[in-house]
Amino acid sequence: MSDIHLERNRLLVKISQLYYEEGHNQQEIAQRLGISRPHVSRMLTAAKAEGIVQIHIRNPYSIEQEIEKRLIETFGIHDALVVHIQDADGATRNLQLGRTCAALLESVLKDDDLVGVMAGHTISSLCNEIEYFSRKNLQFVSLIGGWGSEGATWHANANTSMLAGKLRSKHWLLHAPAVVGSEEACAYLHQEPQIAEVLQLAGRSQLAVVGIGQVSEQATIVESGYFSEADFLDVQGRGAVANICASFLGKQGELLDFAASKRMIGITASELRGIPNVIGLAGGLEKAEAITAALRGKWIDILITDLDTAQAVLALEDQKATTKG
């Protein structure tokens, strides 16, 4: 190695120590050494290229991140956040997923964003876990009417109110049931100016946070009491495996027609697709088929789920590929 090269290396080491070990920024280093800030940047890049600087990341999330990559590549979504929740009951799982979503929202929400909010226990956990951060002119809007007449902390309006309260923001509530008794009543309520205004706002959201419901007797839509047994048997008979907003999906993520569709008040999956960024928040093995359907249909952009469920989703997709083969 020539003498001049040794001296260049000496300078690369000095700049690297100032930057990485002593915590000086590039402008401070430039002023100290009498060189330009872009030159400091180029030298730091050269230090990494020549192996003088080697960055090692201690990653305790490598398994989860590998599954995240597989979900993104398999289903073509923008992102996935997978949380390892060992031996957790439903409440603990919801809490952890809620915390993960809360951290994500702190990163992705921008000034002037209008955020659509769905009903659900996991979204309720998000509302409980989120902490205040400052954004200008942030607004929240309910995406669907209420499930049942009994007040509950997981209704869309309750979730919307809590999120807006935590972030000191304006919010809009949908004062209507999610399902009404007749098509005539539904058409009448859609014409009410306040309801129509909220539904129009919901469709103009820049971001939406939605749950993904399974089609079973344990599903929120059934337990609420507002979706009758006849309605449930109808969607089940049509091959529905997932519920997202005011829509039902088949195994491949296709939209299904169903008897109660003209009696529901809230945005549909088709309207949800018009929202630029849709976060799907759901976990539990019982929801694996529903989540898979939502991913196959490309109804969500970001998935937040637990590790066991994510692996079950990928297994279902692998099984489908094997069957085709």
What are the extents of the domains in the chain? 3-49, 62-324
Distance from chain centroid for Cα 168:
21
Of the ranges 50-54, 55-59, 185-189, 256-260, which one carries the lowest mean pLDDT score? 55-59
Between these two residues, 61 and 160, which has the higher pLDDT value? 160
- Cα–Cα distance, 170 to 168 (Å, whole number): 7
Architecture of the domain spanning 62-324: 3-Layer(aba) Sandwich (3.40)
Residue 132 CA from chain centroid, whole number: 19
Neighbour-count burial of 222, counting CB atoms closer than 10 A to its CB (0-12 exposed, 13-18 middle, 19+ buried): buried
Q: Which is it for strands 139-142 and 213-214: parallel, antiparallel or unpaired? A: unpaired
Does pLDDT of 320 surpass 90?
no
Name the pairing type of β-strands 213-214 and 302-306.
unpaired
The average confidence (pLDDT) of the chain is 91
**Which pLDDT belongs to residue 225?**
64
CATH of range 3-49; options 1.10.10.10, 3.40.605.10, 3.30.572.10, 3.40.1260.10: 1.10.10.10
Read out DSSP for 112-143?
A: T-EEEE---HHHHHHHHH------TT-EEEES
- Say what the pLDDT of residue 3 is: 64
Cα-based torsion angle of the residue sequence 88, 90, 93, 94 in order, rounded to the nearest 10 degrees: -160
Q: CA 224 to CA 155: how far, in whole Å?
A: 10
What b-and-e string marks burial along 261-284, b requiring 16 or more CB atoms within 10 Å of the CB? bebbbbbbbebbeebebbbbbbbb
Confidence of residue 227 (pLDDT cuts 50, 70, 90): confident
Three-state secondary structure call for residue 216: coil
CA angle 276, 74, 303 (to 5 degrees): 45
33 or 126: whose pLDDT is higher? 126
Identical fold, 3-49 and 62-324: no
What's the average model confidence in pLDDT over 194-212? 96
Q: Say if residue 156's pLDDT is above 80.
A: yes
Reply yes or no on whether the pLDDT at 176 is more than 80: yes
